[in-house]
Amino acid sequence: MNFIKESKDIFKDTGLHLRTGISYMLPVLLIGGFFGSVAVLGKGSEAQIWVMFSTIGEIGLKYFVPVMSAYIAYSIADTPGIAPGFIIGILAQQTDSGYLGALFGGILVGYATFMVLKIKLPEILQSTWGMIAPVFSTLLVALMVVFIIGPPLAKLMEEIGKGLHSLGSKGNAGLGAVMGVLGGVDYGGPLSKTQSTFATAAMDLRSFIPLGITGAFVTVPPLGLCLATFLKPKLYTKTERKYAKSSWVYTLVAGFTEIAIPLAANDIIRCTVATVCGCVVTGSIAGFFALELYTPVLGIPQWFFYNKPLVYWGSLLAGVITTAFVVNFLKSVSNRDIAAMDREEENK
């Protein structure tokens, strides 16, 4: 086994491993958030149905972190990594290192499991090594989580939690502005995923304002650019106008930022400036008024899980209008030759 090469290959794809863990985690979080939100309607009731809803919500919100850790490890070590990753994720929660502990723990135990499985043993032992190896990798990483990386991460998570819960209106507005910059700059790319991952992680700290901020501005870029084409159609090509007519409904239904990409691709700098401005406005308003979202869903379903629906719609509208006016102003003072662009598209 080439130890160095194998290690490089694993850590080179860290982003892929994290995305795998998050993709498996989200359904658990969605189920927990949905049932937990619905259970609020029966708060105080002892009817079995409401108790069941509340219990499902608690299970989902408790175990989404270990599931993430399990499937980060799975992405690295395949099936043998699932059980060690799940156990390390629970251990991270119990030692108060939470989301960050589970994230790093999942990577480490996946790596350890992968490497331990590569050890060559006599043939008589090799057949059972696949079952025994995860025991050793779990022990190794558990020691690291409890005695090495766990305590500082627990302290960090504690400070983050305290910070989030003590921000106040102005602090939340500032947080919303920063998240808005990240959410509006790359249309669902790495920076956008960074802030949405942070918002999801905050749920493990029982802070729902970051998710409320993210949910508010996630559709600002596509809706803002769509509105801009309706306000000043002469600034846009036929293809852009046609796309805008068909995509705004899909944006409301599905709630994906990426829908903005075809509208921004031909004029990326001006569009990005506009969408960042719009997301900052929305994020600041949502943060200032402490908008909370209890379930990590997009599109129509999320409308029903805000604590302050009017703040959601008001902040969204403000951001969409800001995006539309900024991008149209920037395009109006540019030298875009729309007629030439239309001819070029027709000749393709």
DSSP 134-180: HHHHHHHHHHHIIIIIHHHHHHHHHHHHHHHHT-HHHHHHHHHHHHH
State the pLDDT at residue 124.
Answer: 66
Report the percentage of the chain scoring pLDDT > 90. Answer: 52
Which tops the pLDDT comparison, 298 or 251?
A: 251
Token pair of 38 as six digits = 């619905």
Question: Quick one: pLDDT band at residue 311, thresholds 50, 70, 90?
Answer: very high
Average pLDDT of the segment spanning 102-111: 94
Q: Does the pLDDT at position 277 exceed 90?
A: yes
Q: Does the pLDDT at position 322 exceed 90?
A: yes
Question: Quick one: pLDDT band at residue 334, thresholds 50, 70, 90?
Answer: confident
- Which one-letter DSSP state was computed for residue 347? T
Q: Does the pLDDT at position 1 exceed 60?
A: no
Please report how many Cα atoms fall inside a 13 Å half-sphere around the Cα of residue 206, on the Cβ side.
7
Residue position matching structure tokens 């658990």: 28
Question: Quick one: pLDDT band at residue 250, thresholds 50, 70, 90?
Answer: confident
State the pLDDT at residue 157.
Answer: 87
Mean pLDDT of the chain: 89
Q: Does the pLDDT at position 5 exceed 80?
A: no
Residue position matching structure tokens 């030439």: 340
State the pLDDT at residue 14.
Answer: 87
Report the percentage of the chain scoring pLDDT > 70. Answer: 97
Cβ atoms < 10 Å from Cβ of 212: 29
Rounded Cα gap, residues 278 and 284, in angstroms: 10
Q: Does the pLDDT at position 330 exceed 60?
A: yes
Nearest Cα residue to 93 out of 84, 103, 83: 103
φ, ψ at 36 (rounded to 5°) = -65, -40
Rounded Cα gap, residues 149 and 73, in angstroms: 17
Nearest Cα residue to 180 out of 283, 109, 259: 283
State the pLDDT at residue 2.
Answer: 65
Question: Quick one: pLDDT band at residue 143, thresholds 50, 70, 90?
Answer: very high
Per residue in 185-224, pLDDT (tens digit) is 988 887 888 888 889 888 888 899 999 999 999 999 999 9
Q: Does the pLDDT at position 184 exceed 60?
A: yes
Lowest mean pLDDT: which of 121-125, 168-172, 257-261, 292-296? 121-125
Contact in structure between 321 and 277 (CB atoms under 8 Å): no
Per residue in 33-48, pLDDT (tens digit) is 888 878 877 877 788 9
Cβ atoms < 10 Å from Cβ of 150: 23
Average pLDDT of the segment spanning 85-99: 93
Q: Does the pLDDT at position 82 exceed 70?
A: yes
User: What type of residue is 262?
Assistant: P
Nearest Cα residue to 39 out of 58, 63, 26: 58
Torsion of CA 142, 146, 148, 152, to 10 degrees: 130
Contact in structure between 138 and 87 (CB atoms under 8 Å): yes
Query: Whole-prediction pTM value?
Result: 0.81
Sign of CA dihedral 273, 279, 282, 283: negative
